[in-house]
A = this chain, B = another copy of it.
Amino acid sequence: MEHRIDRIKKQLHAQSYKLTPQREATLRVLLEREEDHLSAEDVYLLVKEKAPEIGLATVYRTLELLSELKIVDKINFGDGVSRYDLRKEGAEHFHHHLVCIECGSVEEIIDDLLQDVEKIVQKDWGFQVKDHRLTFHGICKQCQEITVEVT
């Protein structure tokens, strides 16, 4: 964790941004909840536990900054809020998501499954791919089992 923060600190400094206590607190929340998909409000409430004086606008600005630096990715699963997701260290692209339409759970796929598809897009559409968002909507393992039991 400390190593990770250090490396991000360097990324910030490289672009002449500082790692203020507020930014660090925000980052720590994101690291502690790496599997989750927190909204700005969610992050704000969690940061408040560590640093009660932080303002919501600062959280928004910090998340915006971290997005620009590609440290976090901003994603929207169709409910009205943006969610912020730490990019896996060293990952070229945003990872994929499985959203269950029964229970609402969100699972992550870290493997990049789109390499072949991207080659096709590049070749057949002449589009130079820089990043992607891929979300599958369907029924998760657990919910499938429940359905079978009920039947």
User: Which B residue sits closest to A143, measured CB to CB?
Assistant: B128
Question: Quick one: given A78-B76, A114-B117, A116-B116, are A130 and B138 in contact (CB under 8 Å)?
Answer: yes
Known contacts: A74-B78, A116-B116. The answer to whether A131 contacts B137 by CB under 8 A is yes
How many copies the complex holds: the figure is 2
Residues of chain B lying within 8 A (CB to CB) of residue A76: 76, 78
Q: Say yes or no: A133-B135 contact (C-beta < 8 A), given A109-B121, A126-B144.
A: yes
Other-chain contact of A133, B116, B134, B139, B140 (Cβ < 8 Å): B134
* Residue contact B127 to A139, C-beta cutoff 8 Å: yes
CB distance from A15 to the nearest CB of B (A): 18
In the complex, chain B residues whose CB is within 8 Å of the CB of A125: 98, 107, 109, 141
Tell me if A132 and B134 are in contact (CB < 8 A). yes
A1-54 interface with B by 8 A CB criterion: none
Is B138 within 8 A of A127, CB to CB?
yes
CA distance A40 to B131 in the complex (A): 27
- Using A133-B133, A133-B134 as known contacts, say yes or no to A127 and B140 having CB atoms under 8 A apart: yes
Rounded to whole Å, the gap between the CB of A37 and the closest CB of chain B is 14
The 7 closest A-B pairs by CB, nearest first: A126-B141, A130-B138, A76-B76, A128-B139, A129-B138, A131-B137, A133-B135
19 additional A-B pairs beyond A118-B136, A126-B141, A128-B139, beta carbons within 8 Å, are: A98-B125, A98-B127, A107-B125, A109-B125, A116-B116, A117-B117, A126-B140, A126-B144, A127-B140, A128-B144, A129-B137, A129-B138, A130-B139, A131-B136, A132-B134, A132-B136, A132-B137, A133-B135, A133-B137
